[in-house]
Amino acid sequence: MKFDYNQFAQSLDSYTDMDVKDEHNGNDGWVKWSGSSSNSICNQVIEYTYSDQTSGKTLQYRSWYMETSTMKSDGGMIVSVKIDYERSTGDDHIILIAGYDVNGYINFAQCSIQFHGASQDNLTVAPITSSDTTDIALTMYNTLYDLQKNVDYGGSTDNAGRKSFAYITQLHIYAMNASVKV
Amino acid sequence: MSLTFDLQTFQSLFPDSVSDKNGTAIKYTVEDSDYRIYNPTWSSNNTVLTVNLDHIRSGATDDHATLIVTYDSNAGIESIEGTWTAGNDGYTIPKIVITAVDASAEFLGAVGALETVGISEAVANGIVEAFDTFCELFNTLSPIVVNLTDNGGRFYFMAVVCHTVNRMNASVTAS
């Protein structure tokens, strides 16, 4: 089983109000992370914006080169990613994990979210599995939406940015689904 | 039946890793941080593998995790015990214990699909256990580690731990 990183970047860019930067750089937007000199293949990111139509704000994010591990006999794959919501005083982090079966179909997703300087708002979502729902990404969106809808994150930018995590996480799952190849 | 652990296979599964600590460990970069994985060691008549891991923090004490993974005779995971200590402040999370005996029904459905592609029932069961263990391990660590500090590298360490268990599992065979 393989993970197609270029497909991931293209897929993320294709969704409404999403724009991956440097998408025509020959690497579909994957760039070496400027904050480190490491030559590891994992020292790459895609930077992108989400234009929130409700607030009128354009919000900035970064996703790191996905880490994958496969099950014995290529019988499945786990994909994980750290997503940074770029804030002026310190980034928030989402860790998203998804599992894929031997045919490359998603069988679970879960996530954990850390809010910079606001640990009382931290969230974890227990595994959502293919026996719970036919659309794990949508169920993740709904779960996060419900957890966040009544939270006031302070400023209007943080309220727009942090409450977009449901959409951003949902799209990451769809883009990962498109990128796991058997 | 006896179990074999292939160290070379295990280490090759970490992307762009380099040898570290005089060959007793490897180091790799992922998701904006560096991690060290020590060579796992057998105990209890080759049924238990212990692995130590560090989240490398420059100019500070590393975060440490130790995992003790017990295998059944088919090289499937039977249970995991883990300890976790955050560097500097020394905060240790309560010992975690995960057992794979109650593999969740949702993954058991995958056994049939695995067998249709020619994977034996024993290996298929092991794969289902691996999915289940990964989920449960992350789900156990997540609510604790998320609150340890808002440092991305310390936070992502829990995913490194889960991938390490998965890579160990892929490197253990029964013969």
Average confidence (pLDDT) per 10 residues, chain B, 175 residues:
94 98 98 97 96 94 96 92 88 85 64 86 88 91 87 94 96 94
Cβ contact, residue pair A107, B110, below 8 Å: yes
What was the pLDDT predicted at B34? Answer: 96
Selected residues 105-144 of chain B with any CB under 8 Å from a CB in chain A: 105-107, 109-110, 113-114, 117, 119, 123-124, 126-127, 130-131, 134-135, 138-139, 142-143
| Arithmetic mean of pLDDT, A84-98 | 96
What was the pLDDT predicted at B101? Answer: 57
Selected residues 155-174 of chain A with any CB under 8 Å from a CB in chain B: none
Structure confidence by residue, pLDDT tens digits, A152-166: 999 999 999 999 999
Q: How far is CA B110 from the centre of its chain?
A: 22
Query: Which of B28, B67, B106, B86 minimizes the C-alpha distance to A110?
Result: B106
Greatest extent of chain B over all pairs of C-alpha atoms, in Å: 52
Query: Which of B66, B14, B59, B30 minimizes the C-alpha distance to B152?
Result: B30
Sign of CA dihedral B98, B40, B3, B160: positive
Tell whether A133 lies on the interface with B, counting CB pairs under 8 A: no
**Average of per-residue pLDDT values in chain A:** 96
Would the pLDDT of A16 be above 80?
A: yes
Q: How many CB pairs under 8 A join A and B?
A: 159
Give the residues across from A85 on adjacent strands.
A61, A92
What was the pLDDT predicted at A40? Answer: 95
Q: What is the ipTM of this complex?
A: 0.96
Domain housing B98: 3-174
What was the pLDDT predicted at A122? Answer: 96
What was the pLDDT predicted at A128? Answer: 95
What pTM, to 2 d.p., does this model score? 0.96
Cβ contact, residue pair B139, A99, below 8 Å: no
Q: How big is the CA angle at B41 (ends B38 and B46), to the nearest 5 degrees?
A: 155
What was the pLDDT predicted at B110? Answer: 75
Structural domain count of chain B: 1
What was the pLDDT predicted at B125? Answer: 87
By percentage, how much of chain A surpasses pLDDT 70?
A: 100
Would the pLDDT of A23 be above 70?
A: yes
Tell whether A132 lies on the interface with B, counting CB pairs under 8 A: yes
Structure confidence by residue, pLDDT tens digits, A27-82: 999 999 999 999 999 999 999 999 999 999 999 999 999 999 999 999 999 999 99
Query: Which of B101, B83, B73 minimizes the C-alpha distance to B161?
Result: B83
Sign of CA dihedral A101, A104, A105, A109: positive
Cβ contact, residue pair B104, A129, below 8 Å: yes
The least confident of A4-13, A16-25, B91-100 is: B91-100
